[in-house]
Every structure is written in structure tokens, then in C-alpha cells.
Amino acid sequence: MSGFPYTPDADKVDQRDDMLQALEDPTTAVVAHGLLNSMAAVKGTAVSLLDHWELFTDDPGLARELLTRIVRQATMASGVLEDLVRGLPPEVASTLAAFES
């Protein structure tokens, strides 16, 4: 390690700069917008279930429909994120995988 202990290595600085530039890409904004829409659907549906659970205990079909909506939106968001991760350098992807375990 070079410099002071809190000074990042040059390659880490370059990596961070690359990530910041990627965030400025219009494609990233479109992807983020889609992910936000999916998360809004997941959250809104889950809140409806929690806030009005008594309505769904009498109608299990409706509860199942809402839970299916949550799963569908979460699956879509996960797929987009998996596609993004595939574009990461192998060392970054393996570090993220280590956090998951």
C-alpha cells in the first residue's frame, strides 16, 4: 500500500472514477428508473398487504395475486441487477459474491 493508510491505491481511485462515469451514462439512468418502478410496485403491494391484511384473509385468491405481483417485480429487478453484475470486472463480482455468502 502506498501513501497514508487512508489514501486509496491509484487503481481503486481509477475504479471509482469509472463507476462514477458509468452513473452518468443515460443507459444507467434508464435502468435505474426501471428498477425504481419495480421496487415501488414491490413496496406498494407489500404495504397494501400489511395495512389491509384482514381483507385478504377472506380472499386468499387476491392475497395470492398480490404476492405473485411482488415475486414478479422482484424477479424482474433481480434479473436486471444480475445482468449489470455480469458486466463487472471478475474481481469486483467475486467480492460482491463473498458478501452474499
Domain membership of residue 45 (yes or no) is: yes
Q: Look-up: residue for cell 458509468? A: 22
Residue 33 forms part of a structural domain: no
3-state helix, strand, coil in the chain (%, to 5): 80, 0, 20
Range of the domain at 46: 39-101
Determine what percent of the chain is predicted with pLDDT higher than 70. Answer: 60
Indicate whether 25 belongs to any domain: no
Residue 4 lies in a domain: no
- Whole-number percent of the chain with pLDDT over 90: 20
Question: What burial letters (b/e) apply to 10-24, b meaning 16+ CB within 10 Å?
Answer: eeeeeeeeeeeeeee
pTM of the model: 0.57
The total of structural domains in the chain comes to 1
Q: Identify whether 80 is part of a domain.
A: yes
**Per-residue pLDDT tens for 49-85?**
999 988 888 888 998 999 999 999 999 888 888 877 7
Cβ atoms of residues 81 and 32 within 8 Å: no
Q: What is the predicted pLDDT for the residue at 72?
A: 92
Report pLDDT for 81.
81
What per-residue confidence (pLDDT) applies to 79?
84
In a domain, 93, yes or no: yes
Within-domain flag for 95: yes
- pLDDT of 89 > 60? The answer is yes
Asked if residue 88 is part of any domain, the answer here is yes
